[in-house]
């Protein structure tokens, strides 16, 4: 039964172009968190964002969020408003900084932070003399959040926004690329993301002062001098020049990767929408999603599990939507502003195999397992 090889949710997809850049690092002996590939990868990212932000290549998306919080001066006792419906990496850095996350639930249209609940949360915290120091909003599964509405609320109360675009490289809002909408923005190049450096991330900032500050903090806060002078605590967060080489090769095929993932979504929707009990996350006229993961929502938890287990029996990986952070044991002491939406999506939603390297045969196999169940 060797033909039954596992179909993964989202696996790395090399183009072959990465190897030349990695070889270049070896040939020049820049096997370090310094070198040409880092600068090359950063300028590839900046070009992709139409030079509307500066990039700092880092060892993970998590580090990028942590650095953004540090650059905003967030510290012990501060509160940070966090989208509850997300992967835990959006929130852990708030704890690293000694601050407290305050969770905000989602709206139904994009599954991302509800602007109304955000404002309610801000007003509540201000009444309690704890004005939040930052907002972390997430383009979940590649679907842009309501950028105008979130930014309007943020401006009204003068609170900076960290845009978690870890899942949204190649997504657009009103024709502009995700990654330029926050005071700071974050990408991840972890192995499961739309492009990968095996592990890695980037922080996007708005001016060169912030960029040099971020490089300083991410490379052990070494001040100018022969002996290494330190008056601040730094971090070892810079990306390796070897891995940045992988990133340069991956940037050359980013558009193809987005197209392939969007085609996966169209295939699933076309094949499955004859089933009345399945719904999809739709784009609005403002948004273009990279469709990092294709998600479906069933009518009940039981239906969702039935599909998930049937896929697993055929060696096909699928996964429930993210469990909201306000329901996670580790954050049970944290404040939250909820409306039931993310909890409901968590119960009924499922991510289907979504890699850009899935074959037509793989996709058909997934769909057939589901169609057979619902017949």
Ligand X SMILES: *Cc1c(COP(=O)(O)O)cnc(C)c1O
Binding positions for ligand X, rule: CB under 6 A: 60-62, 86-87, 89-90, 138, 164, 166-167, 188, 190, 201
Contact 55, 194 (CB under 8 A): no
Q: How far is CA 24 from the centre of its chain?
A: 29
Count of other CB atoms within 10 angstroms of residue 310: 15
**68 vs 278, which CB is nearer to ligand X?**
68
User: Which tokens hold the place of 307?
Assistant: 């599909």
- Give the residue with the Cβ less far from ligand X, 199 or 306: 199
Minimum CB separation of residue 68 from ligand X in Å reads 11
Look at residues 355, 349, 267 and name the one whose alpha carbon lies nearest to residue 308: 349
Q: Which residues contact 356 (CB under 8 A, 6 or more apart)?
A: 13, 194, 256, 257, 260, 261, 264
- Residue 193 near residue 170 (C-beta atoms within 8 A): no
Considering beta carbons, is residue 115 or 201 the nearer one to ligand X?
A: 201
Is 219 exposed, middle or buried (CB count within 10 Å of its CB: 0-12, 13-18, 19+)? middle
Closest separation in Å from C-beta 261 to ligand X: 15
Measured from the CB atom, is 182 or 365 closer to ligand X?
A: 182
**Residue 210 in contact with residue 53, Cβ under 8 Å?**
no
CB closer to ligand X, 278 vs 289: 289
Closer Cβ to ligand X, 119 or 167, answer by number:
167
Integer Cα distance of 202 and 157 in angstroms = 27
Smallest gap from Cβ 286 to ligand X, in A, equals 20
24 vs 87, beta carbon nearer ligand X: 87
Q: For residue 365, what are its two tokens?
A: 């196999």
Q: How far is the CB of 116 from ligand X (least distance, A)?
A: 22
Q: Give me the least distance between CB of 10 and ligand X, in Å please.
A: 11
Q: Nearest distance from residue 59's CB to ligand X, in Å?
A: 8
Residue 366 CA to residue 225 CA, distance in Å, equals 59
Distant-in-sequence, close-in-space partners of 93: CB < 8 Å, separation ≥ 6 = 62, 63, 65, 66, 68, 69
44 vs 167 by CB, closer to ligand X: 167
CB of 354 to ligand X, least distance (A): 13
In the bound state, the residue with its beta carbon closest to ligand X is 61
Strands lying side by side in the sheet with 176-177:
176-177, 172-173, 287-288
Query: From the CB of 227, what's the least distance to ligand X, in Å?
Result: 33
**DSSP state at residue 327:** G
CA 27 to chain centre: 33
């Amino acid at each position: 039964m060797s033909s039954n090889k596992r179909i993964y949710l989202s696996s790395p997809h090399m183009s072959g172009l990465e190897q030349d850049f990695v070889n270049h690092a070896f040939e020049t002996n820049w096997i370090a968190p310094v070198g040409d590939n880092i600068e090359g990868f950063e300028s590839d990212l900046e070009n992709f964002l139409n030079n509307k932000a500066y990039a700092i290549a880092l060892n993970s998306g998590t580090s990028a969020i942590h650095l953004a919080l540090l650059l905003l001066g967030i510290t012990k006792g501060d509160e940070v408003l966090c989208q509850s419906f997300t992967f835990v990496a959006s929130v852990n850095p708030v704890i690293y900084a000694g601050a407290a996350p305050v969770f905000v639930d989602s709206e139904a249209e994009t599954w991302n932070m509800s602007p109304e609940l955000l404002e309610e949360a801000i007003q509540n915290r201000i009444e309690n003399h704890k004005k939040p120091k930052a907002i972390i909003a997430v383009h979940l599964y590649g679907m842009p959040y309501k950028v105008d509405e979130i930014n309007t609320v943020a401006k009204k109360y003068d609170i900076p926004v960290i845009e978690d675009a870890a899942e949204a490289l190649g997504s657009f809002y009103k024709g502009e690329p995700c990654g330029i909408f926050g005071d700071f923005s974050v990408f991840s190049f972890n192995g499961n993301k739309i492009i990968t450096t095996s592990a890695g991330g980037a922080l996007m900032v708005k001016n060169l002062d912030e960029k040099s500050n971020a490089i300083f903090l991410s490379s052990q806060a070494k001040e100018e001098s022969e002996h290494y002078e330190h008056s601040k605590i730094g971090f070892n967060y810079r990306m390796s020049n070897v891995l940045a080489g992988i990133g340069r090769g991956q940037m050359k095929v980013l558009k193809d990767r987005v197209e392939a993932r969007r085609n996966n979504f169209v295939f699933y929707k076309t094949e499955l929408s004859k089933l009345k009990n399945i719904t999809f996350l739709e784009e609005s006229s403002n948004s273009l999603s990279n469709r990092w993961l294709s998600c479906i929502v069933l009518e009940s938890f039981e239906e969702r599990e039935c599909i998930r287990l049937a896929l697993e029996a055929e060696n096909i990986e699928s996964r429930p939507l993210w469990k909201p952070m306000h329901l996670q044991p580790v954050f049970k002491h944290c404040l939250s502003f909820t409306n039931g939406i993310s909890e409901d999506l968590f119960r009924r939603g499922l991510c289907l195999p979504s890699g850009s390297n899935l074959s037509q045969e793989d996709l058909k196999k997934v769909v057939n397992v589901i169609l057979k169940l619902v017949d």
